[in-house]
Structure 1
Amino acid sequence: MGFVLIISIITSIAFNTFNDEANTHYSEVLHEAIPENTITPPVTSGTKVTQGTPSLETVRKNEVNSIDEIEDIPEETPEKSSNSDDDVSSPWVAPETNESKSVKNNSSSSNEFFTLGSTKEEVENIMGTPTAISAYSNQWSYDFSTIEFNDQNLVTAWTDFDQKLHVSLGNVNGSTFNLDSTKQQVLNAMGTPTSISLYSNQWSYDFSTIDFNENDLVVAWTDFDKKLNVTIGNSKGDSFSLDSTKQQVIDAMGTPTSISLYSNQWSYDFSTINFSQDNLVIDWSDFDEILKVK
């Protein structure tokens, strides 16, 4: 019984000694980790005085409170820049389509026309916004029809492929034209051409063409679709042969379908007659067997 009492006393002394050493060591660690200006003043707790060192339980409570305070801080939302790519304040606008352009083109009055020498402003007022503007030439397009402008932005040529251009040079009066006719005489006979060439002195009526010389007089034509109101004489039922004159050919064949611009040749459909410098027949090719040759 005395031995057990001795062992209990020794154990109690050792435990108290270990606890004091542990508290001393723990206080030293806290002093090193916590700045002096954050250490609380001595607090009396019962009979035990703690020299400015918080208890382990207090430290843990403070840590938990600090974490809770951090979690309670509201998250800041960054302000969106007014130049942001994601800004949806301005609605997207669909680009203008060819269909919407055609509405403008069709809105012009049928009584208004442009002509040779018209300005771009006049053309746009009459035709509306062009379907295309060329980057390589001074040309506007309305679907498949085109208008050419010179350096002063005045109309110099056009091609009315799909018959959409509101263009006019004059009205037909029922007359005819022939070799050496003026442009005004051609206009009187044919009206406004479907196309005026930008590169040559040529007018077209659909697939038929009329060529003028430097004096703007008719020198050639090709009546592919039989639309030209042209005549240089009617057939008298005669025939022609080698060395026949042009008048003799006219008396035999009537007005040719084509008079070549580049050679002294007349055509009747696909059959051809060639003349010398003296305008006498030197040969022919009767492909469709219509030539009245004797």
Structure 2
Amino acid sequence: MTTTAALLTDPAVPTAAPGPGRLRRMLRSRRLVTGLTVLVLFALAAIIGPFLVGDPNAVSTDLNQGPSAAHWLGTTQLGQDVLAQLVVSARGTLFIGVAAALVATVVSIVIGIGGGFLGGLADEALSLLSNVFLVIPGLPLVIVVSAYAHGGGMPATVLIIALTSWAASARVLRAQTLSLRSRDYVLAARVYGERRWRIVLVEILPNELAIIVSQFIFAVVFAILTQAGLAFLGLENPLDLTWGNMLYFAQNAEALSSGYWWWFVPPGVCIAAVGAALSLVNFGLDELLNPRLRVHHEPRQKKARLQKKGAGA
């Protein structure tokens, strides 16, 4: 997922200029269209779905029932409808993923671009801070902090994941900023007396937008997987409805050994589908923004003429 960030740090790689053909190239990218379609479906399910399904915590006498007309995805050991839990849990899971990614991206922008642009002592201090977070193993740090803040709810989970996953992105943005701040247009802005904040927002930040978007997508995937892992280990608030907590309760009820596949397969498939969709969007944006990765499509008429010429030869 770091293809865009890796290639755009090379000054020799030009970025795609905005133009009327950008939308056509977006619609032509099967990866991007497929990924966006899946994400839109999950977003609609998370926003509208909870109003269409019943109470996910409502119990019934249908215990551990498989998929049927009454319960499309079966029930749990308490008779709770798995489909209702799956739909309602989509809202919590996507909220944690997007919110944690936003916080981590903002922190990485402030520290990475701010330190790279200011230079000097500020850059050294912020770079040292990034190195400290990079040296500390991420997963053990998340587990320790989550265990300390157990029961804090979704806001605590968002902060824990965000504050332990920004360092790598900040290092990439710092390296790109160090390259951009010596460009002619940045130096010209300094000579004209432009303020620092305006140089960063107008001259530097737009040129790093592709890297930021790619890192944001990766941060969403990381946040969703991390939350699911923490919930599976029992380090999350069990009252929060997320796909990870569904897996946690299925594990505690020994659903795998008992053959209750309808309890743990749907949330696992949803996590994998969201991760795959985000990956497709990232790869599609790589093809759109990087000329080296863009596939050239011949016009249909020209392709037909070439095929006819080849057949005649």
| TM-score (norm. length: structure 1) | 0.21
Q: Which has the higher contact order (CA 8 A, sep 6+)?
A: 2
More strand by share: 1
Based on CA coordinates, which of the two structures has the bigger radius of gyration? 1
| TM-score (norm. length: structure 2) | 0.20
